Amino acid sequence: MFEGALDNLGSLKQQYGLGKSATEVVLVIEAYKALRDRAPYPPSHMVAHLNGSFSFIVFDNSTSTLFVASRARAKGEVHRVGAFCWNGSRKDQVGKVPLYWGITADGHVAFADNVDLLKGACGKSLASFPQGCFFSTAVGELMSYENPKNKITAVPAEDEEMWGATYKVT
């Protein structure tokens, strides 16, 4: 799944040797595969080179690895990890492409670009996936790809109108 747009799609197509007709989806898959095959590149290396506003999910069948990332385009490209604000559109006021995640009753992590798809299955664990971060089953935790050495802390929502958590990089 890929939602959003890459501002540097043209230069990335050249970098990865892709044709002019390659889409963002093809680029993300090919970039992921290229860096996986040239290991030991960390997953954050691929995402750090993508400019724009996007959310994506890649499942690597060869390694049974799930890789999820999200990034918002903000003025001055300010790193933004924080509160969720749903306004019904595909992008919010800072160019954030929505991506949600939560834990199902049977303990599985679930992701979707539509909050309504997860509400019943994830209950109070449902949250907006934090911008500037990635999750990989190979790594086993949520990490900031802009600051991979920094710890990410979940802060439970206190407002009764909100569910889930917000996240901050410390």
Q: Each residue of 88-127: pLDDT tens digit?
A: 334 444 567 889 998 899 988 999 999 999 998 998 888 8
Name the domain count of the chain: 1
Q: In what order do the strands lie in the sheet with 65-71?
A: 2-6, 52-60, 65-71, 133-136, 141-144
pLDDT at 111: 93
What's the Cα-to-Cα distance from 111 to each of 19, 44, 102, 121, 126, rounded to whole Å?
30, 19, 7, 11, 9
Residue of 103, 102, 82, 99 lying closest to 90 (CA atoms) = 99
- Strand-pair partners of 65: 60
Q: Which residues contact 142 (CB under 8 A, 6 or more apart)?
A: 130, 133, 134, 135, 152, 167
CATH number of the domain at 121, please.
3.60.20.10
Domain residues for the domain of 96 are: 2-169
Q: Is the pLDDT of residue 35 over 80?
A: yes
pLDDT at 165: 58
User: What pTM was computed for the model?
Assistant: 0.78
d(CA 4, CA 57): 12
Task: For 41-88, write each residue's pLDDT tens digit.
Answer: 776 788 888 999 999 999 999 989 999 999 986 544 433 333 333 333
